[in-house]
Structure 1
Amino acid sequence: MNAVSQVYDLPVTPAMECTVRGRIALPGVVMELHHYRFRGQQGGIFSPPRSFLDLALSPRPGRPCGGYGGIADGRAAAVGDVLFVPAGSELHTRWGEGEQTSICCGFDGAGFDHDGPDLSHDALQASLDVRSPAVRDALRRIAGEIAQPGFCSEMLAQATWLQAAIELQRYLRLSGSDGEIRAGGLSRAQLQTISDRIEQPGKPPSVAELAAECGLSTRHFFRQFKAATGQTLTRYATDRKIDRAKQLLRRAGPVIKVIAWDCGFDSAAAFSAAFRKATGLTPRQFREGMMH
């Protein structure tokens, strides 16, 4: 498929080429696999008429950054692998030269209602880097159905999209205030601290260390973390480490045992076992598949 995107209007310029590799169109949402080729440094204002949710399946080229209301005067923030842009907003962006593959979803309202949350400044900032494993996993499953359709793919994609939309709303509502601790959850600042600590190279922090940084007892920390993310800390940490490993394996440089240490595994064997359980492939098989 090399058709015009139905998610949003793509500019036709020599500097950017987009190929639509597959699509599932459902009432209220269109989901497409895009492959981009960017020639030279990129930048512009993105203002979609529909809300837009994007997962980069390969690293975004350069050092992508963006900001609502401009990116001058230090207002630019890093754009993560999951990006949400609400309808009618103006996102100023910059990124680099290279290629990228994404699953892109254009939708009305919040995907399951027509209002969606009122996005505060904090929530808008959080939308540039949606750190929700549940949203990320749902988008990956949709991408798989588009790339390799199977029995009842559209029905499965619709159910998975509903999950992604709900998890996105949960994330944005939780991100509405950095300092506020919601009933049955953690503040965005606390979740950011946990994520940053887990993603540091080397041995991961202990539960006691994370609980202490959040000012909670270990038992209370477990309950609050599950309420905020819908996951156990072990599952969340494993997902983050596997995500980081995938990014590193897409590069030709780092050897697998170094990646294992960088992602917090005690040995290459433990890393290989965890990676295979999560993806169905060994780290070497995953890397070889990306290189071809």
Structure 2
Amino acid sequence: MHAVSHVYDLPVTPAMECTVRGRIALPGVVMELHHYRFRGQQGGVFSSPRSFLDLALSPRPGRPCGGYGGMEQGRASALGDVLFVPARSELHTEWGEGEQTSICCGFDGMGFDHDGPDLSSDALQASLDVRSPTVREALRRIAGEIAQPGFCSEMLTQAIWLQAAIELQRYLRGSARDGGTGGGGMSRTQLQRIEDRVEQPGKPPSVAELAAECGLSTRHFFRQFKIATGQTLTRYVADRKIDRAKQLLRRAGPAIKVIAWDCGFDSAAAFSAAFRKATGLTPRQFREGVMH
């Protein structure tokens, strides 16, 4: 184990303790396994002369969030398990008490022999939650090589890292390309984040949570959502609930009360009333109709 990280300068405080459990250093990149212990609520500004890529191998404590424009006025977004911070950028972050294990990579530029272009606001937003299965899997494999080195570990890790760096660039460039809003409203990236959250089983997310996902204040979120979709958030969520209920009712298995919970309703009665108002049929009538 190592006492000092070579990825970035870690502050030594009574509230935070970091143990470096392994390291592989290659030309232009240092990769380390970190185990953190956080005492009490945490917060601060992260900035480094090198770019930084992190995969949380265990859940980040509390409700981690961050933003490049500061934490005020609804600018903060939820942090994903894969986080990228460009060199010399200032990321304001908050997270909770607990322990966390991460694979952390500090590298020059954007991971190649030259610096990449400045990231757009959409790419910066996407960097807070890098939703690339290929990047995630590459970082997991690197963590495995650090934890249990094998034959030609450094050579293999270098090849895996090159893949991760290329896929990260593709992801960020795609986010910038797809992020334009045209005549106003939200980017496609932001709308996809909203859809992903609303589609999750159980209670729908609050407006504050969705606004945070998009890095917007609640008031600005309402206005931009209406411009982008042509409907209110309430109507959008209600339509999504009914669409999901129809999909589940077409299957023979789930009980109606289970579907009610899955779609975010407090009870089967509330679900039945909302479904009948939207379709003119009760959930049972709808199921019987599609089954015959």
Counterpart CA distance in 1 for 2:134 and 2:197 is 18
Q: Which residue of 1 aligns with 2:86?
A: 86
Q: Does 1:173 align with 2:176?
A: no
Residues 179 and 189 of structure 1 are in contact (CA less than 8 Å); yes or no, is this contact kept in structure 2? no
Report the alpha carbon displacement of residue 15 of structure 1 after superposing the two structures with TM: 0.3
SS at 2:37 equivalent: strand
SS at 1:175 equivalent: helix
Residues 30 and 105 of structure 2 are in contact (CA less than 8 Å); yes or no, is this contact kept in structure 1? yes
Counterpart CA distance in 2 for 1:158 and 1:146 is 12
Report the alpha carbon displacement of residue 109 of structure 1 after superposing the two structures with TM: 1.0
> C-alpha root-mean-square deviation of aligned residues, in Å?
2.5
Q: Which residue of 1 aligns with 2:73?
A: 73
Query: How many residue pairs are counted as aligned between the two chains?
Result: 201
Counterpart CA distance in 2 for 1:56 and 1:77 is 17
Q: Given residue 12 of structure 1, which amino acid in structure 2 is its aligned partner?
A: V
Report the alpha carbon displacement of residue 99 of structure 1 after superposing the two structures with TM: 0.1
Q: Which residue of 2 aligns with 1:64?
A: 64
Q: Does 1:101 align with 2:101?
A: yes
Report the alpha carbon displacement of residue 197 of structure 1 after superposing the two structures with TM: 7.0
Alignment of 1:100-139 (within 5 A): 100-139=100-139
Who wins on radius of gyration, i.e. which is larger?
A: 2
SS at 1:87 equivalent: coil
Q: Given residue 122 of structure 2, which amino acid in structure 1 is its aligned partner?
A: D
Q: Does 1:163 align with 2:163?
A: yes
SS at 2:25 equivalent: strand
Report the alpha carbon displacement of residue 196 of structure 1 after superposing the two structures with TM: 4.7
SS at 1:119 equivalent: coil
Q: Given residue 149 of structure 2, which amino acid in structure 1 is its aligned partner?
A: P
Residues 122 and 189 of structure 2 are in contact (CA less than 8 Å); yes or no, is this contact kept in structure 1? no
Q: Which residue of 2 aligns with 1:269?
A: none
Q: Deviations over 1:32-55 (max 9, x none)?
A: 000000000000000111000000
Mark the runs of 5 or more structure 2 residues left unpaired by the alignment: 183-187, 203-257, 263-292
Report the alpha carbon displacement of residue 194 of structure 1 after superposing the two structures with TM: 6.9
Report the alpha carbon displacement of residue 179 of structure 1 after superposing the two structures with TM: 3.9
Residues 16 and 39 of structure 1 are in contact (CA less than 8 Å); yes or no, is this contact kept in structure 2? yes
Q: Deviations over 1:214-250 (max 9, x none)?
A: xxxxxxxxxxxxxxxxxxxxxxxxxxxxxxxxxxxxx
Counterpart CA distance in 2 for 1:194 and 1:70 is 25
Residues 66 and 128 of structure 1 are in contact (CA less than 8 Å); yes or no, is this contact kept in structure 2? yes
Residues 157, 132 of structure 1: alpha-carbon distance in 2 compared, 3 angstrom cutoff: same
Which runs of 4 or more aligned residues in structure 1 lie more than 3 Å from their structure 2 counterparts after TM superposition? 187-198
Moved more, 71-80 or 113-122: 113-122
Counterpart CA distance in 1 for 2:191 and 2:142 is 30
Mark the runs of 5 or more structure 1 residues left unpaired by the alignment: 182-186, 203-257, 263-292
Residues 189, 93 of structure 1: alpha-carbon distance in 2 compared, 3 angstrom cutoff: closer
Counterpart CA distance in 1 for 2:198 and 2:163 is 27
Identity level (%): 82
Report the alpha carbon displacement of residue 180 of structure 1 after superposing the two structures with TM: 6.9
Q: Which residue of 1 aligns with 2:153?
A: 153
Q: Which residue of 2 aligns with 1:35?
A: 35
Alignment of 1:181-196 (within 5 A): 188=189, 192=193, 195-196=196-197
SS at 1:131 equivalent: coil
Residues 52 and 85 of structure 2 are in contact (CA less than 8 Å); yes or no, is this contact kept in structure 1? yes
Counterpart CA distance in 1 for 2:89 and 2:57 is 24
